[in-house]
Amino acid sequence: MIAVRDAGDTVVVEVDGEFAERAAEEFNGVVGAMLDQGKVRVVLNLRRAQWTSLKALKWLVGHVKRFRQRDGDLKLAGPNPYLANLLTLTGTQSLFDIYPSVEDAVASFELAVSTAK
């Protein structure tokens, strides 16, 4: 299940349960809508995600690139040990900014804006 909420200028996407093809396809739709609306600062909360497929991980890699091309970013928050291990094993952890909590990830966007001024 996917839930979306605003945290200031950042969009937080919550994943509850499996982050496999069905949830990833739903997330793809959410990403498309956000990009259409010019929302390019996104935190994906994986705290309650149970697992992911390699196909879903591949889509995440594509999405992070899309957000960065538009001067935004897709940050990961709270991945459980299984997801953290999957990111390490696939070598994709270096592609993402990963934070222990949603609050830390959202704050990193705010910090980046304040240091850019």
User: Which CATH number does 2-116 carry?
Assistant: 3.30.750.24
Distance in Å from the first CA to the final CA of the chain: 37
Q: Confidence class of residue 34 from pLDDT cuts 50, 70 and 90?
A: very high
Q: How far is it, in rounded angstroms, from Cα 17 to Cα 23?
A: 9
Q: For the sheet with 73-77, list strands across it.
A: 2-7, 10-19, 41-52, 73-77, 98-99
Average the pLDDT over 97-116 and give the result.
Answer: 85
| pTM given for the model | 0.89
Q: Taking all residues of the chain, what is their mean pLDDT, rounded to a whole number?
A: 89
Confidence of residue 28 (pLDDT cuts 50, 70, 90): confident
How do 73-77 and 98-99 pair as beta strands? parallel
- Return the higher-pLDDT residue of 53 and 97: 97
Domain ranges of the chain: 2-116
Q: What is the pLDDT of residue 68?
A: 96
